[in-house]
Amino acid sequence: MNALAGIGAALYGAGWELRRRAWASGRSAPQRVDARVVSIGNITVGGAGKTTLVLHLAARARERALGAAVVCRRYRPGPGGEGDEERMYRAALGTTACHAGTSKLALAREAAAAGARLVLVDDGFSHWPLARDADVVLLDSTDLLGGGRLLPAGRLREPLRALQRATAIVVSRLGQGEDPAPFFEVAGRYAPAALLAAGRHRTSAVVDLKGSVAVASGRARVLTATGNPGAVERSAREAGFADVELAAYRDHHWWTVEEARRELARAGEATLLLTRKDAVRWPLDPAEGRVAVLDVEWEWVAGGERLERHVFEGA
C-alpha cells in the first residue's frame, strides 16, 4: 500500500507540474474581475480554519463599509441543493453576500457585477483561472506541512514550493498561549517573501439550536463531519466540557433523520455537541434531543493588523 501511495503521489506531482507549466507558459492567463480578489486557501486536505477566517474578514470588511462578498464552491450539496459552507455564509452575512457554485471565476464576476468591492474566495489558492490581488494561505499548526507528502501518500494538494505564490501565510489553530515564532521560522523557509500572521479558534459560546445559551459542562458527545475533528474536540474541552467523546463522520456529511436519532441515543444523558457548520446539516427539529452548538471565533495571536491591511488594501 505504501508503494502504491508513493506511485500515486509521483503521478499526482507530475500532473501538478504539467498544469503549473501550462499556466506559467502564458498559453492560459488568469482572468481579472472588477473588484479586489483575495483568496483564503490552504495546500492540504482537511480543515485548516478557512471558513472561520473568511467570516472574520468579511465581518471586518463590513465594518469598513467595503461591500465584501464571499465566493465558495458548492461542495457536496445537501437535500436542498445548498452546500454547508454557503449556508453558513448566508446565515452570517446575508443571502446576497455569498455566491456559490462550481466556477469560482464565474462567481467572482457575478459578485463584482453585483457591486462587491472586495471578493473573498474560500479555498481559491489552487484555482488558476481567477487572478487574485492577494493569496492568503493557512497552515494548521497541528500539522504545519501536511506530512510533507503529496496525495495520496500524504495530505498535500500541492508541493510545498507552491507556498512561494502566497502573499501571506497564516498559522492557524494555535493553542492558548502558544508561541507562533517556531511556526513562522518553518513557514518562512518556504515563503520567504510572504507576510506572516497567526491566529486561533476561540470558543465564543455554546448555544442550543434555537440560539439560547446552553450549559458547557459535564459530558459531551462531539458529533462532527468537518475536516479536523480533533480540533473540534479540543474546542469542546476549552468550552468547559470535561468528559468529551468524539464521533467523526466524513467531511461535509449530511445526516439522515435515522442517523441523527441514532447519535442522540448514543449520547444518552450527555450533550450532543455540533459545530456551527455541522448544525446547518442537522435534520431534526430543535426541540428533539439535547443538542448544542459550539460557536468559535477567529482570534489573532500575531500579525493580525498587518494581515487585515494586506487583505483590504485597495478595496
65-84 pLDDT, tens per residue?
A: 999 999 999 999 998 899 99
Q: Fill in the amino acid letter for 112.
A: A
Query: Which residue, among 76, 85, 72, 87, has the nearest Cα to 39 in the 3D structure?
Result: 72
- Domain of residue 79, CATH code: 3.40.50.300
| Burial status of residue 246 (CB atoms within 10 A of its CB: 0-12, 13-18, 19 or more) | middle
Q: Are residues 187 and 210 in the same domain?
A: no
Confidence (pLDDT) at 47: 83
- Residue 133 domain-assigned (yes or no): yes
Q: Are residues 189 and 219 in the same domain?
A: no
pLDDT band at 170 (very low <50, low <70, confident <90, very high): very high
d(CA 270, CA 264): 9
1 pLDDT more than 70:
no
113: domain range? 27-201+299-312
Q: Are residues 45 and 152 in the same domain?
A: yes
| Mean pLDDT, residues 158-185 taken together | 96
Q: Are residues 153 and 213 in the same domain?
A: no
- Interacting residues of 205 by C-beta distance below 8 A, sequence separation 6+: 213, 295
Confidence (pLDDT) at 199: 98
d(CA 45, CA 57): 22
| Mean pLDDT, residues 291-306 taken together | 97
- Residue 12 domain-assigned (yes or no): no
166 pLDDT more than 90:
yes
| Mean pLDDT, residues 58-71 taken together | 95
| Mean pLDDT, residues 144-162 taken together | 93
What is the total count of domains within the chain? 2
Q: Are residues 115 and 244 in the same domain?
A: no
Confidence (pLDDT) at 28: 79
Q: Are residues 36 and 184 in the same domain?
A: yes
Q: Are residues 293 and 229 in the same domain?
A: yes
- Residue 285 domain-assigned (yes or no): yes
Share of the chain above pLDDT 70, in %: 100
Confidence (pLDDT) at 76: 92
Q: Are residues 171 and 249 in the same domain?
A: no
- Residue 45 near residue 143 (C-beta atoms within 8 A): no
- Interacting residues of 253 by C-beta distance below 8 A, sequence separation 6+: 225, 281
